[in-house]
């Protein structure tokens, strides 16, 4: 059995955007792909508001952890997707890497104001990520079906 292609979603802190994208993309692609996330300077935690806004959509990020991209340097990463400018600038080339994409999003962890105002930003970014990664997943699945 062929191993599933590994898609690595990178961000600087690996506390928000990359986890949102990992969960959304894994669900959209299903079992044909493996999706993971990491950061160039991991924060050491997954932001509680990221966990909360994803739970609103039926995703459980409570088991996610903030990881350094070095954990994947020995893996055959088929695709790297960066979701912030800083991660794109420091992204190494991984063994077996075929594709690289950059889809930048605002960092909801930088949102200020009341908790409700911050949640509004987290929800907006979640929804933007869902739109972009949903379209990306549809394209990948279509390409797989055309080649089989």
Strand order in the sheet with 6-11: 34-39, 6-11, 77-82, 99-102
In the three-class reduction of DSSP (H, G, I as helix; E, B as strand; rest coil), residue 27 is classed as: helix
91 is catalytic: yes
Q: One of 6, 7, 9, 11 is an active-site residue; which one?
A: 11
Q: One of 10, 29, 83, 84 is an active-site residue; which one?
A: 84
16 is catalytic: no
Q: One of 29, 91, 132, 137 is an active-site residue; which one?
A: 91
84 is catalytic: yes
- Mark out the alpha helices in 30-105 (DSSP H runs): 48-55, 85-90
- CA quadruple 108, 46, 94, 134: dihedral positive or negative? negative
Active site residues: 11, 84, 91
């Amino acid at each position: 059995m062929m191993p599933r292609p590994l898609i690595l979603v990178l961000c600087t802190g690996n506390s928000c955007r990359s986890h949102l994208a990992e969960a959304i993309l894994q669900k959209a692609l299903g079992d044909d792909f493996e999706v993971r996330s990491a950061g160039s300077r991991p924060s050491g935690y997954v932001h509680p508001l990221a966990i909360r806004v994803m739970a609103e959509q039926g995703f459980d990020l409570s088991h996610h952890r903030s990881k350094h991209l070095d954990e994947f340097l020995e893996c055959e990463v088929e695709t790297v997707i960066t979701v912030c400018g800083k991660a794109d600038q420091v992204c190494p080339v991984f063994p077996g890497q075929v594709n690289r994409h950059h889809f930048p999003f605002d960092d909801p962890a930088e949102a200020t104001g009341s908790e409700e105002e911050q949640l509004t930003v987290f929800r907006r970014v979640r929804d933007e990520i869902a739109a972009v990664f949903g379209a990306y997943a549809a394209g990948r699945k279509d390409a797989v079906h055309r080649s089989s």
